[in-house]
Amino acid sequence: MVAVEVYFLDVAIVLHFIIFGNKWNCCLKLKLFWEGISLLREATVLAIAGSDPSGGAGIQADLKTMTTVGVYGAAAITCLTVQNSLGVQRVHPLDPELVKQQVQSVLDDHFVTHIKIGMLGSLEVVQVMSTVLEDFEGTVVFDPVLAATTGESLLSGGGLEFLKTKLLGHISYLTPNRQELESLAGDSVKTIEDGIQRAMSLLAKYPSMKGIIVKGGHFSTGQSIIRDILVLQNGKQIESKRQRIVNHNLHGTGCTYSSALSSYLLLEKSVEHAFKKSCDFMGTVIQRGNKIQIAKSNTNGPLIHHLYHHEIDG
């Protein structure tokens, strides 16, 4: 009797994912079901990025975001940094073979369906990641961290050119800021309309890429409304609008945005829903942290991820 009850419970879970769940997650659950393995195993989102000791950006922001959204996050570190709200003082890329072993160790052991890539730090690490992704069949979200907000370069040794010629062909979704979009497209981006055109050019150049988010936060900074545009490979454009909020805690917004997108792509049935939920997540986290001071400098403090579930009065 117990076995029968468990069987029908498993069938119900499978049907739930067929009707409501993410397609990849559904396929994983079905595969596990037919192999007679427990259906309660979770898919993993693997973050590959640098470490930020202040906890605002990098791997730390990735894992905070994934946990807050509600997915299981694993992490492979590409670089050690010395940084805080005042800027990046030092970057130490790790040995590329060590980075590769970290990634492969997780891929060998977890049901990784989504990978989020952030700071890679060196040409050698970019080369390693290009090789690793050749055999990965899931979704890859890339936040192309090329420089710190304060201007310091975060990719050395010709990594940008190799990134454009090799790595981008393995990327599903790209989440650059304005300056990063300029670097990748090789053309200026002055307005959000420019950004949409550059995104379309990149999508034409990389036909396996599914979409690029043109983030409006750096455009028309005097305007009260921020427009984010998801440009898809088929030419469709999905827009999300949110109120611009004056906040001194914005360190790690790029890392958080791309991690939220990776997480919601796992949880949601469509990319449109995942995009809209990622935008809503960013708006909520930014809004709820605008009255709190984390950094002594009171400038460019970190996003406060846990406030997504805990609104502060005052």
pLDDT in tens, 168-196: 999 999 999 999 999 999 999 999 999 99
Q: How far apart are CA 36 and CA 22, in angstroms?
A: 21
Whether residues 109 and 24 share a domain: the answer is: no
Query: Tens digit of pLDDT for each residue in 121-147?
Result: 999 999 999 999 999 999 999 999 987
State the DSSP code for 207.
Answer: T
Query: Tens digit of pLDDT for each residue in 26-57?
Result: 555 555 555 555 557 789 999 999 999 999 99
Whether residues 145 and 197 share a domain: the answer is: yes
Whether residues 16 and 98 share a domain: the answer is: no
The amino acid present at 230, given as its one-letter code, is L
State the DSSP code for 41.
Answer: -
Q: What is the pLDDT of residue 218?
A: 81
Q: How far apart are CA 296 and CA 255, in angstroms?
A: 22
Count up the domains in the chain and report the number: 2
Whether residues 274 and 264 share a domain: the answer is: yes
Q: How far apart are CA 102 and CA 77, in angstroms?
A: 8
Residues spanned by the domain of 104: 42-308
Q: What is the pLDDT of residue 174?
A: 98
**To 10 degrees, the CA torsion angle through 218, 220, 223, 229?**
-60
* Closest to 24 (Cα-Cα) out of 44, 1, 48, 5: 44
